[in-house]
Structure 1
Amino acid sequence: MTVRLLAFTQKGMELARRLAAELSGEAARCGEGCTLDAWTADAFANADALVYVGAAGIAVRAVAPYAGNKASDPAVVAVDECGRFAVPLLSGHLGGANRLARRIGAVCGALPVITTATDANGAFAVDEWAVRQGCCVLDVPRIKRVSAKILAGGMAVLRSPWPVAGTPPAGVAADGGAFDFELTVHSADAGALRLVPRIAVLGVGCRRGIGQQAMEEAFAALLAQSGLCAEAFYKVCSIDLKRDEPGLRAFCAAHGFAFETFSAAQLAAVEGRFSSSGFVQSVTGVDNVCERSAVLGSGGTLYCKKQAGGGVTMAAAMAPFAPDWRWQDE
Structure 2
Amino acid sequence: MTRAYLAFTETGLALAKRLAVALPGSVARCGRDGVSLAEWASAQFVHSDALIFVGAAGLAVRAIAPHCKSKTTDPAVVVVDECGRFAVPILSGHLGGANDLARAIAAVCGAVPVITTATDAHGIFAVDEWAKHQNCMVLEPERIKLVSGKLLAGQPVYYRADFPVMGTVPAGLFLADTPEKADFALTLCPTGQALHLVPRIGVLGIGCKRGTSAETLEAAFAAFCTRYGFAAQAVTAAASIDLKQNEPGLLAFCQAHGWPVRFYSAAQLRSVPGQFTPSPFVQSVTGVDNVCERAAVLDADGSLFYPKFACSGVTLALACRPFAPDWRWQNA
Return the TM-score normalized by structure 1: 0.96
Counterpart residue number, 2:318: 316
Query: How much has 1:302 moved relative to structure 2?
Result: 1.7
Measured in 2, the distance between the counterparts of 1:239 and 1:4 equals 39
Match for 1:149: what amino acid?
A: K
* Identical residues among aligned pairs (%): 59
Instruction: Give the drift of 1:176.
Output: 4.5
Structure 1 residue aligned with 2:22: 22
1:180 aligns with 2:183: yes
Q: Does 1:294 align with 2:283?
A: no
Write the mapping of 1:130-145 to structure 2, written as runs, cut at 5 A: 130-145=131-146
Q: Is 2:328 the counterpart of 1:307?
A: no
Query: Match of 1:89, SS?
Result: strand
1:210/1:34 CA distance change after superposition, 3 Å: farther
Q: Which residue is equivalent to 1:229?
A: 231
Which residue in 1 is equivalent to 2:271? 269
Give the secondary structure class of the aligned counterpart of 1:210: coil
- Asked whether the equivalents of residues 160 and 175 of structure 1 are also in contact (C-alpha less than 8 Å), the reply is no
Cα deviations across residues 169-209 of structure 1 (Å, max 9, x unaligned)?
11122344422111010142x11111111112100112233
Which of 214, 217, 220 is matched with 1:215 structurally? Answer: 217
Q: Distance in 2 between matches of 1:319 and 1:88?
A: 32
Q: Specify every segment of 5 or more residues in structure 1 that has no aligned partner in the other structure, as ranges.
A: none
Q: Once the 2 structures are TM-superposed, how far is the Cα of residue 244 of structure 1 from its aligned partner?
A: 3.4
Alpha-carbon separation, structure 2, partners of 1:148 and 1:49? 27
User: Aligned with 1:154: secondary structure?
Assistant: coil
Instruction: Identify the residue that residue 166 of structure 1 maps to in structure 2.
Output: 167
Tell me, yes or no, if the aligned pair for 1:168 and 1:174 is still in contact at 8 Å. Answer: no
Cα deviations by residue, 1:110-166 (Å, 9 ceiling, x for unpaired): 111000000011111110001011110011111111111111112211111212111
TM-score by length of 2: 0.95
SS in 2 for 1:141: helix
Q: For residue 146 of structure 1, what is the amino acid of its counterpart?
A: V
CA distance in 2, matches of 1:264, 1:117: 54
TM-align CA RMSD: 1.4
Q: Hey, what does 1:101 align to over in structure 2?
A: 102
Give 5+ residue unaligned stretches, structure 2. none
Contact 1:235–1:258, Cα closer than 8 Å, also in 2: yes
Instruction: Work out the number of aligned pairs and report it.
Output: 329
Shift of 1:103: 0.8
Q: Does the Cα contact within 8 Å between 1:158 and 1:176 map onto a contact in 2?
A: no
Give CA deviations for 1:56-107 in whole Å, capped at 9, x if unaligned. 0000000001111111111111111111111101110011110110111111
